[in-house]
Structure 1
C-alpha cells in the first residue's frame, strides 16, 4: 500500500474502507488504497484501487487473507467527490486469496453457498440423472492434495438413493488442470462406470470454462496452491462494482 497519499486519495480510501466494514459481518483488518487526484476524479478516472484484508467474513464465508489490485478504472465523479467509488464500467481485477481448511468447510455448510450448489444433472446413456450434494467435507492434508468426503443423493428414473464417497484431487495450476487421483464409494450401492464417466466429463466441462459468474462478477481461477491446512487462489475477475468480495 502507498505510504504517502494526497487528500483526495485519503478521503476515497477511508470511504471505501468504511463501506466495506458496513457490508461485512466481520473483519480483523481492511486497508484500501485509491490512487488518483482531484483532476482525475473530475474526469471520472482513478489509476488503481488496491485492497488488502485479514479475517473478512460475509454471509457465512470467511477469508483468511485477501489482496486485490485493479487496473485503471472509470468512476462516477459526482459520487467520488462525496466519498463513494461507483464504477461507470466493469474493471479488470487480480486477487490473491488465502482460505483455511476450516474456512472452506464452514463456507460449504452456509446457506449462501448451499443455495449456489444445490444440484446438477448428468446425461448417462441418454438418461438424465440428478445429483444433489448433501454433505461435503474438504481436507488439505498435504501440499498439492485436496481430499473430499461427502454424501450425494442420486435421483434416477424410478429410483432415489444416497451414496458416500471419498475423492483425492491435485489442484489446478497455470501449467495443468485439476486431476482426479482417486474416487471411491464407501457408503451405499456405489455408482456405475457409465455414471463415473459422465461425472468426470461434467467436472472437466466445469473446470475448463473460461470464466465463472458469481453475483454478477465474472472471474477465472488462474492458479491453486495447496499447503497443509491452507489453499491459496490466484483469481482474475471482471468486477462491475466496488467494493465487492
Structure 2
C-alpha cells in the first residue's frame, strides 16, 4: 500500500505508541501498527493491531523482555479512534509471544506489588484443610526445559503454623509433554508428611494444567512454553476486551 494511503494507520499507530509509552515506567522499544484506513475507521472496523515491545516495565518492577502480539479483525469505537485511542466495541482474539528472563522474573517475584498479592492456598489432606502462604519465591532456569523454584512459606496444619523452606524442580506443560514435578525437597523446617507432599503435588499439577488464566481485561490460554537457560518463552492465545492502554493497568 502506498505511503500516502497509510496516513490513517500511521496516525493511529503513533498515537497508540504515545499513549502506551506514557503509561509504562520504561520501554526500550515499543511499536504499534494499526491496520485500517479512514473508511474502515468511520465504519468502526480495523483489520487488526500488532504490538511489538522490548524491555517493557510496568508497576516499577514488572519487566517483560519481549512481546509480540497480533490481533485478528476488530470492531472499534470510530470516534475515539479518530483521536488516536483504540477502544474495542467487542472482545477480540489475539496471539502473543512473550519472552521473560530469569533476572526479570525474580525481580518481579521480589517486588512489593507481588508480595502484596500473595495469598493463602488451601488444599485437602485426608479430609483436613491445610493452608500455606508463600513468603519468598525465586526461579532459576537451568535449561533442558526445566524450572527450579526455591522458596519459603508459612504452613498451617492441625492448628499450628510453622515456616518451611523448599526447592522444587519441574517441567511445564508443552505441546509434546504434560506438566511434570520432578522433585520436591524441604531444605529448612521439620519436613512434611507423605500425605501432604502428595496433596501438594496434586495442587501444583492442577495449577500447571489450568486451561486458561485471566487478567482484568484479558483471558489467555498458554499454548506452548519453551524453557531455555536464562529465559522462558510463552506462546499465548488471548481474548482481549480493551487494548492497548489497559494492558499496562492489569493486576496479576
CA distance in 2, matches of 1:26, 1:82: 24
Query: How far has the Cα of 1:159 moved from its partner?
Result: 0.4
CA 1:211/1:236 → structure 2, altered by over 3 Å: closer, same or farther? same
2:33 maps to what in 1?
33
2:17 maps to what in 1?
17
2:126 maps to what in 1?
125
1:219 maps to what in 2?
220
Note the residue ranges of structure 2 that are not aligned, 5 or more in a row.
Answer: none
Query: How far has the Cα of 1:215 moved from its partner?
Result: 2.4
Q: TM-score, normalised by structure 2?
A: 0.92
Query: How far has the Cα of 1:102 moved from its partner?
Result: 0.4
CA distance in 1, matches of 2:2, 2:69: 17
Query: How far has the Cα of 1:116 moved from its partner?
Result: 3.5
2:51 maps to what in 1?
51
CA distance in 1, matches of 2:228, 2:126: 39
Of 172-181 and 129-138, the range deviating more from structure 2 = 172-181
Q: 2:176 aligns to what SS in structure 1? A: coil
2:186 maps to what in 1?
185
CA distance in 1, matches of 2:90, 2:176: 32
The runs of at least 4 consecutive aligned structure 1 residues that moved more than 4 Å come to 2-5
Q: 2:143 aligns to what SS in structure 1? A: coil
Query: How far has the Cα of 1:198 moved from its partner?
Result: 1.2
Note the residue ranges of structure 1 that are not aligned, 5 or more in a row.
Answer: none
Encode CA deviations 1:147-172: one digit per residue, 9 max, x unaligned: 11111110123200111111111122
CA 1:222/1:117 → structure 2, altered by over 3 Å: closer, same or farther? farther
Q: After TM superposition, list the pairs within 5 Å mapping 1:37-116 onto structure 2.
A: 37-59=37-59, 60-116=61-117
Kept in 1, the 8 Å contact 2:217–2:242? The answer is no
Of 199-208 and 217-226, the range deviating more from structure 2 = 199-208
| 1:228 matches 2:219 | no
Encode CA deviations 1:137-193: one digit per residue, 9 max, x unaligned: 111112311111111110123200111111111122112222111111111011111
| 1:158 matches 2:165 | no
Q: 1:130 aligns to what SS in structure 2? A: strand
CA distance in 2, matches of 1:136, 1:236: 27
Q: 1:177 aligns to what SS in structure 2? A: coil
Kept in 1, the 8 Å contact 2:72–2:93? The answer is yes
Of 171-180 and 17-26, the range deviating more from structure 2 = 171-180
Q: TM-score, normalised by structure 1?
A: 0.95
Query: How far has the Cα of 1:74 moved from its partner?
Result: 0.7
Q: 1:40 aligns to what SS in structure 2? A: helix
CA 1:162/1:3 → structure 2, altered by over 3 Å: closer, same or farther? farther
CA RMSD of aligned residues (A): 1.5
Query: How far has the Cα of 1:87 moved from its partner?
Result: 0.6
Q: 2:210 aligns to what SS in structure 1? A: coil
